[in-house]
Amino acid sequence: MKIQTVEPIEVAAPAGELSSPWSSTVILVRVTTSTGAVGWGEAPTTLMTHPVRESVREVARFYTGHDLADHAACLREFERYSFYRSRSMEATSALSAVDIACYDLLGRELGAPVSTLLGGAVRSKVRAYSNGWYSDAITPEEFAEKAEAMVRQGFRALKFDPFGDQYRTLSTEGLTAAVDRVGAVREAVGPTVDLLIEYHGRFLPEAAMRAGRALDAFEPRFMEEPVIPELSDALAGFRRVVRTPVALGERLLTAADFESFLARGLVDILQPDITNSGGFTYGREIAGVAAAHGAPIAYHNAFGPVQTAATLQMDAVLPTFFLQESFEASWPDWKRTLVRGYAIEGGTFAIPSKPGLGIEVDERAVERYRSDIVDPIGPEPPWVIGGTWVRRPPSARGTSRPSPERGKPRRR
C-alpha cells in the first residue's frame, strides 16, 4: 500500500459565523493510499495558517510514492533534508500532521486503535480541563459567572488568562485586576476545582514573578508559560519565588527541547502539542523523556477535532498523564461538524477504541468549510480568547471582530 497523495486542506468559519481568533482556521491533512484508503492529520495555525499549509507540500515530497509501512523512514529522511527543522514550527507542524495521518491509516489497515500501535492503552478515559470558556469576560463577576457554568457542565479544572491587555510589563492596576478575577473565580467554584493560570508567555521576568507571588494565594494547580519564551532561563528564578508549579511545552518541538527544560529545572508539568512536536513518532520520544524525569504530561490541545482525537490516543498510553486540555465546550458550531467519534461528558473524555484515530471525518463538511483566508487580526492578538482585551458590543458577543483580512472565505 503506497502513499499516493498528501493534501493540506484549510477550513475556516463560514461567512456569518465568525469565531474567536484562536478557533478561526484549521489545517487538516488528508493522506490517501494507492488502495483508496484515507487517513487524517492536523496542523496548528495561529497566524501561520498559510506557511504551515505550504510546508505540508514540502513534507509530502518525502512520503508520496513510498510504502505506508515505510513512513518512519520518510520522516527520518525529511529530518536529514530539513536544515532548520528543529527551530521551524512550520516544518515540524507539517511533519506532525502527516505522521498523524500515517498512523491513522496504519491503525485502520490493522483494525486497531493507534494506542495499540504505541504499545497499548493503560487507561480508557481521561479528565479534561476547560479552556476558551471565558470569552467576553473582563470583570471579575463575568469570569465568575462563566466559571460556574463550566462547573455545572462537570468540569473540575478550568484554565484562564486573567491578565487582560497587559504585555511584557504589569502595572499595579493590571495586577490588581488579575488578582480580583482569579479571586472571584476561586470564590465561585470553591476549593475543590483546579484553577490553571495562563500567562501566554507574555511577561518579562520581574512582572511574571510579581504576578506569581500574588496569585499563589489562590492555590492554582499550575501557571503556564509565565515568561516570554526567549527568556526561559528566568524560569529558574520564577520557580524559586513562586510556589505554584510551572507548565509549558506548546512551543517546544523536539524531545531534546523537553529534556533540556527538565534537566535545567525550568518546568514541572509538560505540555507538548502533538500537532507541532512530531506527531506520534516524536510523541513517543517525548513521553520517554517525561517518564525518565517523572514529569506529568498535560497535552496542549487548542485547535481542531482531529488534534483532539490524536491527542487522546497519546493520553491512553502515557505513563505520566496528568490532565487533558479541551476547548470543545466553547467551539463554534462549524468546527463541531467536522468529525464524529469522540465526545466529552462531565469533564471527561472517553478515549476512542475504534481503528486508527477512532473517528470519522465528515468530508462533506470539510468541503463546505474549505477556505483560503488568512488568520484574522484585530485589536486582540490571535491567541487571545475573544473579548478579554477589548470590550465588545452585545451584538458581537461570542464572535470575533470582523477584519479586513477575513473577507468572505473562498470556496473551491
Q: Between the CA of residue 97 and those of 43, 258, 320, what are the distances in Å?
A: 5, 20, 24
pLDDT digits (tens, 9 = 90+) for 174-225: 999 999 999 999 999 999 999 999 999 999 999 999 999 999 999 999 999 9
List of domains in the chain: 3-115+369-396 (3.30.390.10), 117-356 (3.20.20.120)
- Where does residue 74 rank: exposed (0-12), middle (13-18), buried (19+ CB within 10 A)? buried
The residue among 90, 104, 152 whose CA lies nearest residue 3 is 104
b vs e for 153-192, b when ≥16 Cβ sit within 10 Å of the residue's Cβ? eebbbbbbbbbbebbeebeeebbebbbebbbbbbebbeee
pLDDT digits (tens, 9 = 90+) for 293-310: 999 999 999 999 999 999
Residue pLDDT tens, the chain, 412 long: 999 999 999 999 887 776 676 778 999 999 999 999 999 999 998 889 999 999 999 999 999 999 999 999 999 999 999 999 999 999 999 999 999 999 999 999 999 999 999 999 999 999 999 999 999 999 999 999 999 999 999 999 999 999 999 999 999 999 999 999 999 999 999 999 999 999 999 999 999 999 999 999 999 999 999 999 999 999 999 999 999 999 999 999 999 999 999 999 999 999 999 999 999 999 999 999 999 999 999 999 999 999 999 999 999 999 999 999 999 999 989 999 999 999 999 999 999 999 999 999 999 999 999 999 988 777 888 889 989 998 887 766 654 433 333 333 333 2
Question: In 3-state terms, the chain is what percent helix, strand and coil (to 5)?
Answer: 40, 15, 40
pTM of whole model > 0.75? yes
Q: Between the CA of residue 172 and those of 175, 219, 237, 410, what are the distances in Å?
A: 5, 21, 21, 46
Residue numbers annotated as active site: 200, 300
Radius of gyration for the alpha carbons in the chain, expressed in angstroms and rounded: 20
pLDDT digits (tens, 9 = 90+) for 353-382: 999 999 999 999 999 999 999 887 778 888
Pairing label, strands 348-350, 344-345: antiparallel
Q: Tell me how far apart the alpha carbons of residues 27 and 189 are, in angstroms, rounded to a whole number.
A: 35
Q: State the amino acid at position 163 in one-letter form.
A: F
Q: Show Cβ contacts of residue 175 under 8 Å, excluding neighbours closer than 6 positions.
A: 210, 211, 214
Query: In the chain, what is the greatest distance between 2 CA atoms, to the nearest angstrom?
Result: 63
- What is the three-class DSSP state of 391? coil
